[in-house]
Amino acid sequence: MTERTVLCVDGESEVDDVATAVGEVESVTAVTRTSAADAATVIETTALDCVVTEYGLADGTGLDVLRTLRTEQPQTPCVLFTDVRPREIDTASVGNLVTEYLSKDLPNATERLGGVVADVISHSAQVGFPLPEGEGDRLESLARYDLAELPVEASFDRLTDLVADHFETPIAFVGLIEEDAENILACHGAEWGRLTREETVCTHSMLQEDVLVVEDLQADERFAGNEGIQNLGVRSYAGANMTAPEGHVIGQLCVLDHEPRTYSADERRRLQQFAETAMEILDLRQSLREARELSA
């Protein structure tokens, strides 16, 4: 089972008890800190699967911890474990980052904590997805393309057929990554119209400049526990960025296989070229549409 890391933030007299309860969860390692400043350092340098924090801390509050978490790791769930009543906490200032609230005043609260942490980690593995920097600007760049008015389906159908044939893969698709879903514009080998961002590997692939290759999705900790991805029936993935002129990644061109497989450096280079071709098709159609609007 994949190892998980949970940051526990509380006062010196209680943090060890919190860590002990969290550490009883299978495959979880508890990391302890006793101040918001020290917690921030951990959040900035360590990939976390959950944060458990007290509200009152020596140098601030648990909300200070959550603000750092929202900036550095926005999809990481958080449990506010405190004896401060919810109505006394301005959780609105940190949006929906507080995944769970557990009162220390409840009977056997510390013993219950481990179960709460296990639940939020499991839920996060199914529904969470990472966000790129400048997500708002990226979505604005994507919105510039009026897909309803762009006749791209036939061109992308031909392109995905060509890509699947070139790489000898059963599935190839072109998808644009919207706020909550990936809009599949063309797909060879599967009838996918829209995939939630939780169930597409592309939401991870778009975060890196180079082609992302996952040789075995079931062996990768990012995807092994994601039922949405497992239900697609694929084992290997390779995806290349479609980058708009403004520099934002708005989509992916991908190939998938039902078996684990590798891709050579030359194959990765070729896949990126296909992705650039897909972006050129999209830009050309958009330019023609804008020219027609100007002439009209």
17's CB contacts (< 8 A; 6+ apart) are: 110
Whether residue 43 is found in the same domain as residue 75: yes
Whether residue 142 is found in the same domain as residue 118: no
Helix (H) or strand (E) holding 130: none
Per-position DSSP letters for 73-98, written without gaps between them: -TT--EEEEESS-GGGS-GGGGTT-E
Whether residue 116 is found in the same domain as residue 181: no
At residue 14, the 3 state secondary structure works out as: coil
Whether residue 164 is found in the same domain as residue 267: yes
In angstroms, what is the C-alpha Rg of the chain?
Answer: 22
Instruction: Report the CATH number that the domain containing residue 165 is assigned in CATH.
Output: 3.30.450.40
Q: What is the signed CA dihedral for 256, 260, 266, 268, rounded to 10 degrees?
A: 40
What is the DSSP code (8-state) at residue 280? H
Instruction: Report the CATH number that the domain containing residue 31 is assigned in CATH.
Output: 3.40.50.2300
The domain tally of the chain equals 2
Whether residue 141 is found in the same domain as residue 108: no
Burial class for 9, CB neighbours closer than 10 Å (0-12, 13-18, 19+): buried
Whether residue 108 is found in the same domain as residue 161: no
Q: What is the signed CA dihedral for 48, 51, 56, 58, rounded to 10 degrees?
A: -20
Whether residue 139 is found in the same domain as residue 285: yes
Whether residue 146 is found in the same domain as residue 288: yes
Last residue of a domain, one of 127, 150, 179: 127
Pairing type for strands 50-53 and 78-82 reads: parallel
| Dihedral pair phi/psi, residue 32, rounded to 5° | -110, 145
At residue 4, the 3 state secondary structure works out as: strand
Whether residue 107 is found in the same domain as residue 142: no
- Predicted model pTM: 0.60
Helix (H) or strand (E) holding 145: none
Whether residue 161 is found in the same domain as residue 271: yes
Last residue of a domain, one of 92, 127, 162: 127
Give the structural domain span for 264.
135-295
Per-residue CA distances from 247 to 77, 130, 138, 141 (Å): 30, 19, 9, 9
Last residue of a domain, one of 93, 127, 161: 127
Whether residue 60 is found in the same domain as residue 111: yes
At residue 72, the 3 state secondary structure works out as: helix
Whether residue 206 is found in the same domain as residue 178: yes
Q: Compute the residue count for the chain.
A: 296
pLDDT tens track, the chain, 296 positions: 468 899 999 999 999 999 999 999 988 999 999 999 999 999 999 989 899 999 999 999 999 998 898 888 877 889 999 999 888 887 666 555 567 889 999 999 999 999 999 888 876 654 456 677 788 889 999 988 877 767 778 889 999 999 999 999 999 999 999 988 899 999 999 998 888 887 889 988 998 889 999 999 988 877 877 777 888 889 999 999 999 999 999 999 999 999 999 999 999 999 999 999 999 998 888 887 777 777 66
